Amino acid sequence: MTPQKFTVSVVVPAYNEEVGIAAFLERLQGTLKGLDYEIIVVDDGSVDGTLTVLSALAAKNDRIKAISFTRNFGHQMALSAGYKYAQGDCVVTIDADMQDPPELITELIEKWQEGYKIVYAKRREREETIFKRVTASLFYRVLNTFSETPVPIDVGDFRLVDREVAELIGQLPEKSRFLRGLVAWGGFSATSVDFIRRKRMHGKTHYPFFKMLNFALDGVVSFSTKPLKMAIYLGIIASLLGFSGIVYAIWRRFFLPHEFWVTGWTALFVAIVFFGGIQLFTTGIIGEYIGKIYKEVQGRPMYLVKETVNIERQKI
Ligand code: UDP
Ligand code: MG
């Protein structure tokens, strides 16, 4: 059960957010007033003044803590570090660009107090560009077609998890971290609270189309071996087609008069292109999985911490 007196950790990944971060933290603290909380901002190797702004704020307020990476390791790694460092009884993850309204955290906490281990903030509406909305919807569709762990639709990385879930995620040794999948994979009791996703206040998205596509592919490969099965089926279909082609070619050679022998350039061309395409496609799929294995086997740390403010640095 939820303790009567509890602490909340709020994890904020920030990459080049120098312009908006101070206003965001102010608004966030406004909603957390009266609670026992810590805010962990993970500076994901920003090249602007994000860390300077953060350090100044943290110097005045020890509830604001910062972890700074040596370079940009990515949004998912920043969140993973947050889960590892967070001390609270529940951990909220929220973007720094005010697209996720901090005021919703109160509702997330209420649901958590009802006993849910995971409370997702679900995007009921998006005030983003049509392009972003279409690609996002495509993203969830592709993911759920393939993923063996259903990933909740229209749910991003704005959520609350219980300490138990945060610890599990923090301890998972997996290097390729598709957190939406990992959180759902645990099978903990979950619910959601709706909100309207506003436009970005400052700067621009770090997730352009190709990064989104890669992210979706990452999610699929991390949570499903279905594409490998698909490769097998494609292979079977191609072999069957190829086999009928062989039968036809032999039949033609032996049963038709010889002036027909040399024709068939089109068939040959189509066959080469078709099978070539399938081979490249399936090799690509296998390659993705090998790439993942390679990364896991190398065993490099997920991220490197350059410095921390108001929080003790942990060994990796
Ligand atoms: N972010 C990060 N590392 C990155 C890219 C983004 O820590 O490599 C942070 C970013 O500062 C923001 C959050 O992750 O707080 C979400 O990023 P963004 O707003 O660019 O994504 P979108 O909302 O467009 O999906
Ligand atoms: Mg954003």
| pLDDT tens by residue, 254-301 | 888 777 666 677 778 778 888 888 888 889 889 989 999 999 999 999
> Ligand 1 pocket, 96 CB below 6 A?
yes
Categorize the per-residue pLDDT at 3 as very low, low, confident or very high, splitting at 50, 70 and 90.
low
Instruction: Please tell me the distance between residue 82's alpha carbon and the centre of ligand 1 in angstroms.
Output: 14
* Residue 205 CB–ligand 1 contact under 6 Å: yes
Query: Which residue's alpha carbon is at the smallest distance from atom 3 of ligand 1?
Result: 75
Ligand 2 geometric centre to CA of 11 (Å): 15
44 lines ligand 1 (CB under 6 A): yes
Q: Whose CA is nearest to atom 22 of ligand 1?
A: 205
The predicted-structure confidence for 39-86, as pLDDT tens digits, reads as follows: 999 999 999 999 999 999 999 999 999 999 999 999 999 999 999 999
- Tens digits of residue pLDDT in 107-161: 999 999 999 999 999 988 877 788 888 888 888 888 888 888 888 888 999 999 9
Give the closest ligand to the alpha carbon of residue 156.
1
Atom from ligand 1 closest to the CA of residue 43: 7
Compute, in angstroms, the gap from residue 195 CA to the centroid of ligand 1. Answer: 18
- Residue percentage of the chain with pLDDT more than 70: 97
Please report the atom of ligand 1 found closest to the CA of residue 156: 25
User: Among 95, 98, 132, 197, which residue has the most ligand 1 atoms within 8 Å of its CB, making it the best to mutate?
Assistant: 95
17 CB within 6 A, ligand 1: yes
CB of 77 closer than 6 A to ligand 1?
A: no
Instruction: Please report the atom of ligand 1 found closest to the CA of residue 72.
Output: 8
Largest pairwise CA distance in the chain: 93
pLDDT at 2: 58
Half-sphere exposure of 285 (CA within 13 A, CB side): 18
Q: What does the mean pLDDT of the chain come to?
A: 90
- Say yes or no: CB of residue 282 within 6 Å of ligand 1: no
Name the residue at shortest CA distance from atom 12 of ligand 1: 95
Write the residue with the smallest CA distance to atom 6 of ligand 1: 75
Per-residue pLDDT tens over the stretch 217-267: 888 888 888 888 888 888 888 888 888 888 888 888 788 877 766 667 777
What pLDDT, on a 0 to 100 scale, did the predictor assign at position 169? 94
Written as one string, the DSSP assignment of the chain is ---SS-EEEEEEEESS-TTTHHHHHHHHHHHHTTSEEEEEEEE-S-SSSHHHHHHHHHHH-TTEEEEEESS---HHHHHHHHHHH--SSEEEE--TTSSS-GGGHHHHHHHHHTT-SEEEEEEEEE-S-HHHHHHHHHHHHHHHHH-SSPPPTTEEEEEEEEHHHHHHHHH---SS--HHHHHHHT---EEEEEEEE---SSS--S--HHHHHHHHHHHHHHH--HHHHHHHHHHHHHHHHHHHHHHHHHHHHHHS-GGGTT--HHHHHHHHHHHHHHHHHHHHHHHHHHHHHHHHHHT--S--EEEEESSPPPP-
Atom of ligand 1 nearest to the CA of 97: 15
Q: 7-224+300-315 has which fold?
A: Spore Coat Polysaccharide Biosynthesis Protein SpsA; Chain A (3.90.550)
pTM over 0.85: yes
pLDDT of residue 213 exceeding 90: no
